[in-house]
Amino acid sequence: MNEIRAEIWVQALLRRAQAGGAMGMVLRRGDRDAGAVWVKLMRLDGTCELFVPVRNSEGERIWTRPLGITSETDADDRARKAIERDPDLWLVEIEDRQGRHFLTEPVEDASKRE
């Protein structure tokens, strides 16, 4: 299965967010080709969500929300620990008052995967 390079995928996500009237930025650059990408959605009301990629049983990428709606501090702590384990990880932040993440793949709550 051919995957799109991480850097190109991140650029496309940021363009979708910008086209939708949201703000997006790269907080941490990972490996240009194969780094995993995590997305932090700032809801601009003091809460945020963290979206983490996983593979479903068919091998397709989907996203989970391991913390649900949480504080920025909790999301940053989780991301920091992941970066310590995987230095190739990208971290992208989307700021959107409407809570849109601009991901095109399916999103599942982490509790449904357990």
Name the CA radius of gyration of the chain, rounded. Answer: 13
Domain assignments of the chain as residue spans, ordered by start: 6-113
pLDDT of the residue at 108: 87
pLDDT of the residue at 24: 97
- Pick from 19, 20, 14, 17: which is nearest to 37 by CA? 14
pLDDT of the residue at 31: 95
Cβ atoms of 40 and 92 closer than 8 Å: yes
The class that CATH gives domain 6-113 is alpha beta
SS3 41: strand
Q: Rounded distance, CA 97 to CA 106, Å?
A: 21
**Chain centroid to CA 30:** 13
Q: How is residue 30 written in tokens?
A: 């990972």
pTM: 0.91
pLDDT of the residue at 1: 37
Q: Rounded distance, CA 62 to CA 76, Å?
A: 21
Give, for all 114 residues of the chain, the pLDDT tens digit.
Answer: 347 899 999 999 999 999 999 999 999 999 999 899 999 999 999 999 999 999 888 988 899 999 999 999 999 999 999 999 999 999 999 999 999 999 999 898 765 554
